[in-house]
Homo-oligomer: A and B are copies of this chain.
């Protein structure tokens, strides 16, 4: 039994924060977003709103809220609030499903598409800089490992 940092006299209970996967993921995400957030902020949009718009743009057709929430990795209660915002700002259109009165169908509108076209160049620039700093192949490998981890833990 050995202590890894010299200051924790509880031995290995718990592992120190440098070896914590949740914290490492949080910090990495924070470091990545530090480059992106200013770009989005300049366009008056949050990271989550951006994710919603991107998913809708990729899909290209009306999507119900549950599916949208899943694809954008946003919880339903948050999505409800975000849809209200984006709808007021004319970036999306929200209508009730004719066949199933519970469902809400969301579609990107012209305002949203315009915003995406505005932000995309800057976004790609940031991402290119990231790949250049960290290594294009390492980014690919990291993505693969993260996806693998997510898959293996979701069962």
Contacts and interface: CB of A to CB of B under 8 A. Distances in A.
Interface of A: 5, 7-10, 12-19, 21-36, 47, 51, 54-55, 57-60, 71-73, 116-117, 119-121, 123-124, 127, 130, 133-134, 138-139, 141-143, 145-150, 152-154
A35 B134 contact: no
Please give the count of copies of this chain that the complex contains. 2
A149 B28 CA distance: 7
Nearest to A154: B31
27 contacts: A7-B60, A9-B60, A10-B120, A13-B116, A13-B117, A14-B116, A14-B119, A14-B127, A16-B58, A17-B54, A17-B58, A17-B71, A17-B72, A21-B142, A22-B33, A22-B36, A24-B142, A24-B146, A24-B147, A24-B150, A26-B73, A30-B150, A32-B149, A35-B153, A133-B152, A142-B146, A142-B149
